[in-house]
Amino acid sequence: MPIEQISGCIACKACIESCPTDVIQLDKRTNKAVIAYPEDCQICHLCRLNCPVGAITISPDKTIPVMVSWR
Amino acid sequence: MQDNIELSRRQFIGVAGGVIGASALASIPLGAETIENPSDTQASDFTIENQHTDVLVIGGGMAGLFCAVKAHDAGAKVMLVSKGRVGSSGLTPFAKGIFCYDKATSEVSIDEFVAQVSESAIQTNNPVFTRQLALHSYDRVQELKQWGFFDSALCNTSFMRPINERNIPVSERIMITHLLKDKGRVVGASGFSLNEKKIIHFHSKSVVLCTGSGGFKPSGFPVCDLSHDGTIMAYKAGAKVTGKEWNDGHPGSAENSGSCYDNWRGQIEEKPGLTGVQVNHHLGVDSNYQAYTQGAPVTMGPGSAPNQAGTSNVTYPQGPYTPTAFRETDKPKPPPQESGILSMFRSKGHDGPPGMGGEQVGGSTAGMAIHKSEGLVPIDEAGLSTLPGLYAAGDALGSYMSGGIYTQIGSSLAGSAVQGAISGEAAAKASLALEIDAVSQASLEQIEHQILAPMLRKKGYSPAWVTQVLQGIMIPNFVLYVKKESLLSAAMAYISELRDHHVPMLMADDLHKLRLAHETENMIITAEMKLKASIMRKESRCSHYRLDYPDIDYENWQAWINIYQDQDGSMQFEKQAFDAWPNFA
Ligand SMILES: Cc1cc2nc3c(=O)[nH]c(=O)nc-3n(C[C@H](O)[C@H](O)[C@H](O)COP(=O)(O)OP(=O)(O)OC[C@H]3O[C@@H](n4cnc5c(N)ncnc54)[C@H](O)[C@@H]3O)c2cc1C
């Protein structure tokens, strides 16, 4: 998993706004940030760095194997 | 010899087919079949909003920031709209070294700097933009200092300071997809919100595209939010674009190659610093060539001799050419720098430049060219495009500030600041005293229909699957980086299938996927541009390498390639001499 977990969200939306690839959405029911599209996470860590309460955990693994030009 | 190194068309289909199969199957079994759209969205679910301004700035990176500020200061009413957050989208948040030419301390004159860049770039640079970078970088850096850019690793706060001081309205999380045109002039742009079901038409007197570059959503380089949207909407509106044969050659790490953060060794957490004149010739396709001829693992380095004995018994051409003055193996190592970005790379935890440690893989930036080489064709030094009313700046402008190869660390960020400021001021001045007619309701409705089409389709293809197929076709080393006609043409056969058959059936069931659908279409058009421009440029130079034309052709190729759409909607290509500017389209 790239972005793995949001735990202790205070609903400030900083992660939603600072994610360039639109991975995180606001759950309208709970008014909390949820990981909606983990497959589109580029693992840049902008969400984690913008979170004021350190709620976000990220791992370096990609959910889908990535296509590289050589290996 | 040639026979040995050329794969037949049939073999290509086998290889690429395998790749596509593997990656597609990983997430979507039987992806090639159309799927049904679970959403029952109607066009009437969307609200329509109209906004009016003088200068519309699209893009919230370094170029967009300076463009909005300087357009405002030149007396125009300005709006800034961006797909992501200002200073937290595009490439800008990840760049940490900014070039600053300080004439008081520099040992090199501006003339010498421009001459050195031209020598390294083998004349592919436009010296007007190279000079402009050096002339203006100092002033832009001073402004960034005042705004607090150098005091934080994150740049949203410092970027918003001058914008808020001027009360410039900002709309974030809006994906612009179309340019508005009236009587041949660009008079605004349209797009949709990523937050709510809303289409917005921005009516303006001029538009500046600060939309950055793009790629094929590759691994390990934070460019996955960009898909050359600005370039493609401008191309569709009739502007000329350029630079598609060049390639950024950043490698990625084999370990966790999908992680931008780890590839760049946490560089994003560092504060920015300055770079001074040090012209080089780097990050073209050397390592791709080395991997192609000898196999992996590859050690990176400009000037490393690529044609050594490998496992293959085929004799290959010498590989990408580095001008003598810039071969690092011939020169003593520069003294260690105690400050700025170079010291940061050497600090504990970095172990060398980011993205270049351990075993490497290729394609980290696949689909992106050298910064500033690709984008809209300028007709003047302010970034006015071949369409009246439409400007571009930064990575969205094919200014050839550095040419078809990287020539100066830090110049990409500084170049976006410099060009943003100049284009903003020019767009503002051109808008004063200009009266614009309203765009017809019929054209707005047509655009609304095109924006929503993927959401209204009941059956079709998911953008994720089409993107994976595209990656399987375009990213292999033997297509994108080490080029030859047979493989470029074979890849083009696949791409034309995606263009003609799959693009019209791209489907989305929510706003996120609507964004992906439009991005996927833009990437497919970009792929066509890259393949056809690469076929046309029958020589090798800088970051464009042709195995079947391995030498520089000074006689026929002192020229850039411009790309435009003809009346029938097909893609056309023309040469433009290095020393000439085009006119309005
Ligand atoms: C990891 C990394 C390291 C780098 N290091 C350096 C360095 O040390 N020094 C250096 O000089 N350069 C470096 N660069 C390059 C540099 O970051 C870029 O050249 C520069 O930041 C480009 O700025 P820009 O404003 O032109 O475009 P970008 O910063 O890419 O901004 C583009 C903007 O356009 C918006 N946008 C795109 N499409 C749309 C659309 N359809 N609708 C609305 N908005 C849209 C995006 O949301 C974004 O806000 C690096 C880049 C990366 C990724």
Distances (CA, A) of B13 to B199, B479, B491, B562: 41, 12, 9, 30
Tell me the CA–centroid distance for residue B211 and ligand 1, in Å: 8
Q: Which residue among B67, B92, B350 is best mutated to probe the pocket of ligand 1, counting the most ligand atoms within 8 A of its Cβ?
A: B92
Query: Average pLDDT for residues B313-342, to the nearest whole number?
Result: 72
Give one word for B533, left, alpha or beta, with left for phi > 0 and alpha for psi -120 to 50.
alpha
Residue B356 has pLDDT above 90, yes or no: no
Q: What local confidence, expressed as pLDDT, does residue B298 receive?
A: 83
The residue whose CA has the least distance to atom 14 of ligand 1 is B95
| CB-CB neighbours of B33 under 10 Å | 10
Token pair for B165: 């001081």
**Angle at the Cα of B288 from the Cα atoms of B284 and B291, rounded to 5 degrees:** 150
Q: What local confidence, expressed as pLDDT, does residue B302 receive?
A: 46
Decide: B147 and B165 in contact? Cβ < 8 Å: no
Token pair for B282: 């780097």
Beta-carbon contacts of B176 under 8 Å, excluding residues fewer than 6 positions away, are B58, B81, B83, B189, B190, B191, B202, B211, B229, B230, B233
Burial of A62 (0-12, 13-18, 19+ CB in 10 A): buried
Give one word for B148, left, alpha or beta, with left for phi > 0 and alpha for psi -120 to 50.
left
Say if A24 falls within a structural domain.
yes
Q: What local confidence, expressed as pLDDT, does residue B311 receive?
A: 57
Query: Average pLDDT for residues B518-540, to the nearest whole number?
Result: 98
Highest-pLDDT range among B37-46, B210-219, B252-261: B210-219
Q: What local confidence, expressed as pLDDT, does residue B330 receive?
A: 52
Residue B10 has pLDDT above 70, yes or no: no
Burial of B209 (0-12, 13-18, 19+ CB in 10 A): buried
Q: What local confidence, expressed as pLDDT, does residue B346 receive?
A: 59
The better pLDDT of the pair B28, B15 is held by: B28
Tell me the CA–centroid distance for residue B97 and ligand 1, in Å: 13
Type and span of the H or E element at B106: none
Q: What do you get for the CA distance between the two ends of chain A, in Å?
A: 22
Query: Average pLDDT for residues B150-172, to the nearest whole number?
Result: 98
State the smallest CA–CA distance between residue B16 and chain A in angstroms.
11
Which ligand 1 atom sits closest to the C-alpha of B272? 8
Residue B170 has pLDDT above 50, yes or no: yes
Query: Average pLDDT for residues B447-465, to the nearest whole number?
Result: 97
Residue B350 has pLDDT above 70, yes or no: no
Say how far apart CA B245 and CA B483 lie, in whole Å. Answer: 10
Say if A67 falls within a structural domain.
no
Going by pLDDT thresholds of 50, 70 and 90, the confidence category of residue B15 is very low
Q: What local confidence, expressed as pLDDT, does residue B457 receive?
A: 96
pLDDT, chain B, mean: 90
Going by pLDDT thresholds of 50, 70 and 90, the confidence category of residue A64 is confident
The residue whose CA has the least distance to atom 48 of ligand 1 is B90
In chain B, whose CA is at the least distance from the CA of A28?
A: B195
Which residue's structure tokens are 């740049």?
A: B155
Q: Which residue among B208, B211, B409 is best mutated to probe the pocket of ligand 1, counting the most ligand atoms within 8 A of its Cβ?
A: B211
State the smallest CA–CA distance between residue B324 and chain A in angstroms.
28
Residue B55 has pLDDT above 60, yes or no: yes
The residue whose CA has the least distance to atom 21 of ligand 1 is B92
Decide: B264 and A68 in contact? Cβ < 8 Å: no
Tell me the CA–centroid distance for residue A62 and ligand 1, in Å: 23
* pLDDT, tens digit (0-9, with 9 covering 90-100), for B417-434: 999 999 999 999 999 989
The residue whose CA has the least distance to atom 11 of ligand 1 is B410
DSSP label of B95: -
- For chains A and B, CB pairs below 8 A equal 136
Tell me the CA–centroid distance for residue B61 and ligand 1, in Å: 6
Half-sphere exposure of B583 (CA within 13 A, CB side): 0
Query: Average pLDDT for residues B444-471, to the nearest whole number?
Result: 97
Domain extent, residue A46, equals: 3-62
State the smallest CA–CA distance between residue A64 and chain B in angstroms.
6
Q: Complex ipTM above 0.85?
A: yes
Going by pLDDT thresholds of 50, 70 and 90, the confidence category of residue A29 is very high
Our answer on whether the CB atom of B516 is closer than 6 Å to any ligand 1 atom is: no
Q: What local confidence, expressed as pLDDT, does residue B521 receive?
A: 98
Going by pLDDT thresholds of 50, 70 and 90, the confidence category of residue B188 is very high
Going by pLDDT thresholds of 50, 70 and 90, the confidence category of residue B48 is very high
Query: Average pLDDT for residues A51-66, to the nearest whole number?
Result: 92
* Cα-to-chain-centroid distance, residue B171: 22
Distances (CA, A) of A62 to A45, B228, B352, B471: 13, 24, 24, 16
Which ligand 1 atom sits closest to the C-alpha of B177? 41
Q: What local confidence, expressed as pLDDT, does residue B24 receive?
A: 36
Say if A38 falls within a structural domain.
yes
Query: Average pLDDT for residues B531-541, to the nearest whole number?
Result: 98
* Cα-to-chain-centroid distance, residue B228: 6
Domains and CATH numbers, chain B: 47-250+369-431 (3.50.50.60)
Query: Which among B222, B260, B480 has CB closest to A69?
Result: B480
Q: What is the CATH number of the domain that holds A17?
A: 3.30.70.20
Residue A67 has pLDDT above 90, yes or no: yes
Q: Which residue among B91, B193, B227, B516 is best mutated to probe the pocket of ligand 1, counting the most ligand atoms within 8 A of its Cβ?
A: B91
Interface probe, candidates A44, A63, A69, chain B, greatest B C-beta count within 10 A = A69
Going by pLDDT thresholds of 50, 70 and 90, the confidence category of residue B331 is low
Beta-carbon contacts of B343 under 8 Å, excluding residues fewer than 6 positions away, are B273, B336, B337
Q: What local confidence, expressed as pLDDT, does residue B312 receive?
A: 62
Beta-carbon contacts of B336 under 8 Å, excluding residues fewer than 6 positions away, are B342, B343, B346
Q: What local confidence, expressed as pLDDT, does residue B276 receive?
A: 95
Measured between beta carbons, the chain B residues lying within 8 angstroms of A65 are: 22-23, 26
Our answer on whether the CB atom of B250 is closer than 6 Å to any ligand 1 atom is: no
Going by pLDDT thresholds of 50, 70 and 90, the confidence category of residue B359 is confident
| CB-CB neighbours of B35 under 10 Å | 15
Tell me the CA–centroid distance for residue B562 and ligand 1, in Å: 23
Query: Average pLDDT for residues A47-71, to the nearest whole number?
Result: 93
Query: Average pLDDT for residues B368-395, to the nearest whole number?
Result: 98
Residue B6 has pLDDT above 50, yes or no: no
Query: Average pLDDT for residues B439-457, to the nearest whole number?
Result: 97
Say how far apart CA B62 and CA A32 lie, in whole Å. Answer: 31
Q: For chain B, give the percent of residues with pLDDT over 90.
A: 81
Number of domains forming the structure of chain A = 1
Q: What local confidence, expressed as pLDDT, does residue A16 receive?
A: 97
The better pLDDT of the pair B122, B6 is held by: B122
Interface probe, candidates B91, B250, B259, B465, chain A, greatest A C-beta count within 10 A = B259
Query: Average pLDDT for residues A22-36, to the nearest whole number?
Result: 94
Q: What local confidence, expressed as pLDDT, does residue B564 receive?
A: 98
Q: What is the DSSP string of A9-48?
A: --S--HHHHH-TT--EEEETTTTEEEE--GGG-----HHH
Type and span of the H or E element at B99: strand B97-99
Going by pLDDT thresholds of 50, 70 and 90, the confidence category of residue B13 is very low
Could you tell me which of B298, B218, B216, B214 has the C-alpha nearest to residue B258? B218
Could you tell me which of B247, B287, B214, B216 has the C-alpha nearest to residue B23? B216
pLDDT, chain A, mean: 94
Say if A25 falls within a structural domain.
yes
pTM summary value: 0.93
Residue B83 has pLDDT above 60, yes or no: yes
Residue B405 has pLDDT above 80, yes or no: yes
